[in-house]
Amino acid sequence: MIVTYYGKQFFKVQVGDTVIAYNPVGKESKYKTSRFGADIVLSSLRHADFNGAEQCAYGDKEPFVIKGPGEYEVDGIFIKGFGVDTTYDGERKINTIYSMVFEGINLCFLGALPTTDTLSREVKEGLGEIDVLFVPIGGGEMLTPADAYKLALALEAKVVIPMDYEGAKGELNTFVKEGGENAETVDKFTFKKKDLEDKEGHVVVVSAA
């Protein structure tokens, strides 16, 4: 599995020829966007910063787009979406947290999660045993670095990937310190399930492409 980061909350996850995109930045966003072909697009929030699915229709790939709570199965990939209240850009919205099992690896994507209290016990139980957790750390309308890492430990995530810290490098530094020596920075995060077996709260900072 290869994880590539494009800034904001935009990630590409790839295994073989299968490509999944999380929260692609739309053309109307002030943030930088990128284009590539994806088989599945997951969008957490109805806002140009997160729902640019058109950026992932490329070449011969026309993505299956998921943009809300529910249970989905696409080509043997199982996805659960859990809706929680949030505020973004000053407006109250529904943020969808995604749990996706892909190649036996459980990826949990928190999206624009505002506080740790937003996660109910039912949602936490529904997320299952998390292998890789994508967590916002920029503060403001989303989690602070300290709260983000505490939540990662509470969810017993094996690997934690921070996101959404543009213009907030201090927050990234704080988050890395929270992880202590248990942190690394990579251009792309390439791994197999067996590589995660002994991990616990391991921070992986994926540099933006």
Domains of the chain, with CATH numbers?
A: 2-206 (3.60.15.10)
Task: Identify the residue with better confidence: 156 or 168.
Answer: 156
Q: Within a 10 A sphere around the Cβ of 209, how many other Cβ atoms? A: 14
pLDDT in tens, 16-46: 999 999 999 999 999 999 999 999 999 999 9
H/E stretch holding 177 reads helix 169-179
At residue 167, does pLDDT exceed 80? no
At residue 179, does pLDDT exceed 90? no
pTM (2 d.p.): 0.96
8 — alpha (psi -120 to 50), left (phi > 0) or beta?
left
Please say whether the beta carbons of 150 and 161 come within 8 A.
no
Long-range contacts of 143-146 (CB under 8 A, 24+ apart): 143/110, 143/113, 143/114, 143/115, 143/116, 144/171, 145/171, 145/172, 145/174, 145/175, 145/178, 146/174, 146/178
CA distance 136 to 84: 15
CA distance 57 to 49: 17
CA distance 135 to 151: 9
Instruction: Share the mean pLDDT of the chain.
Output: 95
pLDDT in tens, 105-137: 999 999 999 999 999 999 999 999 999 999 999
At residue 12, does pLDDT exceed 90? yes
How big is the CA angle at 174 (ends 13 and 204), to the nearest 5 degrees?
A: 25
At residue 149, does pLDDT exceed 90? yes
What integer pLDDT is reported at residue 178 of this predicted model? 86
pLDDT confidence bin for 11, thresholds 50/70/90: very high
At residue 70, does pLDDT exceed 90? yes
> Taking the CA atoms of the chain, what radius of gyration do you get in angstroms?
15
pLDDT confidence bin for 182, thresholds 50/70/90: confident
Phi/psi of residue 160, nearest 5 degrees = -125, 125
What integer pLDDT is reported at residue 60 of this predicted model? 87
What integer pLDDT is reported at residue 163 of this predicted model? 97
Half-sphere exposure of 69 (CA within 13 A, CB side): 10
